[in-house]
Amino acid sequence: MNNLNDIAHFLESRDNFAILTHIYPDGDTLGSAYALCRALRKLNKNARVLINGTLAEKFSYLAKDMEEQNFEYETVVSVDIAAAELLGEFKDEFESRIDVCIDHHASNSISAKMIYVNSKAASNCENIYRLIKVLGVEIDPLLADCIYTGVCTDTGCFKFTNVTPDTMRIAAELMELGCRSAEINKEMFDTKSCARINIEREVLNSLKFYAENRIAVVYTTREMEERTGAKDSDMDGLAAIPRQIEGVWIGITVKEKGDNYYRVSVRTNDGHDAAWICSKFGGGGHFAAAGCSVNGELEDVISLIVSASIEEINR
Amino acid sequence: MNNLNDIAHFLESRDNFAILTHIYPDGDTLGSAYALCRALRKLNKNARVLINGTLAEKFSYLAKDMEEQNFEYETVVSVDIAAAELLGEFKDEFESRIDVCIDHHASNSISAKMIYVNSKAASNCENIYRLIKVLGVEIDPLLADCIYTGVCTDTGCFKFTNVTPDTMRIAAELMELGCRSAEINKEMFDTKSCARINIEREVLNSLKFYAENRIAVVYTTREMEERTGAKDSDMDGLAAIPRQIEGVWIGITVKEKGDNYYRVSVRTNDGHDAAWICSKFGGGGHFAAAGCSVNGELEDVISLIVSASIEEINR
């Protein structure tokens, strides 16, 4: 494990950077990558962000006013990538040649010459912010936008338990440096696609309660996805809906993935063990958020997972 | 207009405080009132918070471990109250005897001996935080909870355009002082009543688009409210739903209030004028958020307001 000074010295001594982001790229991996890319270019380096797929329209401002650079990659940096499997389309080419890994996942298992993992950082962009300070690069408004994007998206707009006083102070400074915080917040947290609204409606229409309203279940089918036009990105966070309901201990989301094949997400409140429930079906996860896959007819799958949840409540 | 030093000196010289909160009490008026009440009691004063109605269960922690005090009111302070009409049940008794008004609404029209209005504060709790600093009172975790409550609720958890770097830094300090920020965030922003979930479903089921999806309309009827058990507090913020939809310029929410009588809320994006639309029906408000009342059958009301919205788009 290296410190940020080591990492900064190493970056200063190198050039021609490929900055890797993880599959299903989110605001933190993209924000980290574009912030670092902009900082390296300010040091007159060649640097490029590599994205699995294409940059989503909602994140296009991260790349604003950046020129295309063509060069041969010499130095490879991974940002916000916890494990090699998350490299996606870059795994084969880059897995064994990562020079620097900068991450905030405690479980990080990336192999790299230099590694900086700070799991106290709510977002990896907090790490990148500190690194850029060590590099002595001035943070302009577009760079501030990049850092802010990870800071706000990985914390649910400063809502989650991972937020620290440092998170808030970094955000304060980025605002003073001219980041478009309110616009980014609106784009990330107050804008929903039509398909998202429609699939949310379907989810709410499917809502059923069990065990005196302590268990709430919703589901989605492939037919619903087709009818509403919902893509994977539109389905993000649907699993949060049933647990939000007042008085609910166990929120269950059942998603049809194939013929008689369902993915189940369990979210719990008030000390109930989601991982225990999912382990009964060969799944697992965290205490308050876990998942498993179950075969069968929809009604049977719901019935099985509700039974296991009742068992968890009673044990 | 007085400064916080004047206000602090005055409060120090007085005793037996009644602290007034506004009708439909929210997190900012309640947080302001309980924070000030706790601070005054730490200065060995008698102080009490007066609430229109009763303290909602979700805000009960604001009053945690506070003893009942019985005394005759000598000094009256209003917090987060912009106008006398918002005094509610306290108007007759207190309107003409308010000693100190502390607020953050630029439109404040309260008559009081001493007035401190700082409209740059995202929440009135920011003003109260600064006042407590001037008073030299130590902020303990329960007091920090009170201040944090207004800071987060009036900013949509640090999401809205009113957030400043100061807002973020005050929140950082409150976290260091031991406030339960993540728990309060969860209670305020990630918990929905069953009735709320049900009325949201009804709202989504009512969604219709006009003008090539630039206008989105939802409605609620008294029958829906009855069927779902939704109270006023469950209806808060429903008007935000249609404007959230990607590509929508004008989001309209129509709420049945009486026989052939509807309250219309208009929210706009991208430079469209909600106040202009509502002014056509005798209403008004802000550029991006306005309201009006319209008589007629539901379909006719929707048709009228959609026509005015199309006119706004085309003008």
Distance CA A244, CA B196 (A): 11
pLDDT tens digits along B198-243: 999 999 999 999 999 999 999 999 999 999 999 988 998 899 999 9
CB A197 within 8 A of CB B245: yes
| CA distance readout (Å), A123 to A5, A27, A119, A260, B281 | 19, 10, 9, 38, 48
Query: How many of the other CB atoms lie within 10 Å of CB of B225?
Result: 20
| CA distance readout (Å), A156 to A267, A288, B43, B63, B71 | 16, 17, 38, 28, 45
Contacting A with CB below 8 Å, chain B residues are: 156-161, 163-166, 168-169, 171-173, 175-176, 181-182, 185-186, 189-194, 197, 200-201, 204-205, 207, 213, 240-241, 244-247
Q: Vertex A242, ends A238 and A247: CA angle to 5°?
A: 155
pLDDT tens digits along B93-103: 999 999 999 99
User: In the numeric block, which tokens belong to residue B132?
Assistant: 């407590």
Q: Which chain B residues are within 8 Å of A173, Cβ to Cβ?
A: 165
Distance from CA of A96 to the nearest CA of B (A): 39
Greater pLDDT, B180 or A24? B180
Average pLDDT, stretch A188-206?
95
Search chain A and give the residue with CA nearest B165: A172
Question: What mean pLDDT is reported for chain A?
Answer: 96
pLDDT at residue B156 tops 90: yes
Tell me whether residues B192 and A244 touch, CB distance under 8 A: yes
Search chain A and give the residue with CA nearest B246: A193
CB B87 within 8 A of CB B95: yes
Distance from CA of A111 to the nearest CA of B (A): 34
Q: pLDDT at position B237, please? A: 87
**What are the counts of helices (DSSP H) followed by strands (DSSP E) for chain A?**
13, 11
Q: Vertex B99, ends B95 and B102: CA angle to 5°?
A: 90
pLDDT at residue A249 tops 90: yes
Q: How confident is the model at residue A232 (pLDDT cuts 50, 70, 90)?
A: confident
Tell me whether residues B197 and A245 touch, CB distance under 8 A: yes
pTM of the model: 0.92
Average pLDDT, stretch B63-78?
97
Collect all residues with Cβ–Cβ distance below 8 Å to A94 and sequence separation of at least 6: A18, A20, A76, A78, A87
Which among B21, B282, B27, B22 has a CA at the least distance from the CA of B153? B27
Q: How confident is the model at residue A233 (pLDDT cuts 50, 70, 90)?
A: confident
Domains and CATH numbers, chain A: 4-189 (3.90.1640.10), 194-314 (3.10.310.30)
Helices (H), chain B: 4-13, 27-42, 91-94, 124-135, 141-153, 165-176, 181-189, 194-205, 222-228, 232-235, 240-244, 274-279, 298-314
pLDDT tens digits along A86-96: 999 999 999 99
Collect all residues with Cβ–Cβ distance below 8 Å to B264 and sequence separation of at least 6: B252, B253, B254, B255, B278, B281, B283, B291, B292, B293, B294, B301, B305
- The enclosing H or E element of B116 equals strand B114-117
Q: Which of B168, B171, B207 sits opposite A197 (nearest CB)?
A: B207
pLDDT at residue B253 tops 90: yes
Collect all residues with Cβ–Cβ distance below 8 Å to A265 and sequence separation of at least 6: A239, A252, A253, A255, A289, A290, A291
Q: Which chain B residues are within 8 Å of A207, Cβ to Cβ?
A: 197, 201
Distance CA A61, CA A57 (A): 8
Q: Which chain A residues are within 8 Å of B169, Cβ to Cβ?
A: 168-169, 172
Q: Is the ipTM of this complex over 0.90?
A: yes
CB burial string B16-33: b at 16+ within 10 A, e below: bbbbbbbbebbbbbbbbb
pLDDT at residue B109 tops 90: yes
Q: How confident is the model at residue A81 (pLDDT cuts 50, 70, 90)?
A: very high
Question: What mean pLDDT is reported for chain B?
Answer: 96
Query: End-to-end alpha-carbon separation of chain B, Å?
Result: 42
Q: How confident is the model at residue A133 (pLDDT cuts 50, 70, 90)?
A: very high
Average pLDDT, stretch B13-27?
96
Tell me whether residues A191 and B244 touch, CB distance under 8 A: yes
Which among A149, A222, A200 has a CA at the least distance from the CA of B245? A200
pLDDT tens digits along A258-293: 999 999 999 999 899 999 999 999 998 889 999 999
pLDDT at residue B1 tops 90: no
Q: How confident is the model at residue B147 (pLDDT cuts 50, 70, 90)?
A: very high
User: In the numeric block, which tokens belong to residue B257?
Assistant: 């209030």
Percent of chain B with pLDDT over 90: 95
DSSP letter at B81 equals -
Distance from CA of A260 to the nearest CA of B (A): 27
Q: pLDDT at position A223, please? A: 97
Percent of chain B with pLDDT over 70: 100
Q: Suggest the residue from A155, A158, A180, A193 to mutate for an interface test with chain B (most B CBs closer than 10 A).
A: A158
Q: pLDDT at position B126, please? A: 98
| CA distance readout (Å), A263 to A211, A289, A307 | 22, 14, 17
Tell me whether residues B182 and A166 touch, CB distance under 8 A: no
Q: Which chain B residues are within 8 Å of A185, Cβ to Cβ?
A: 158-160
Q: Which chain B residues are within 8 Å of A247, Cβ to Cβ?
A: 194
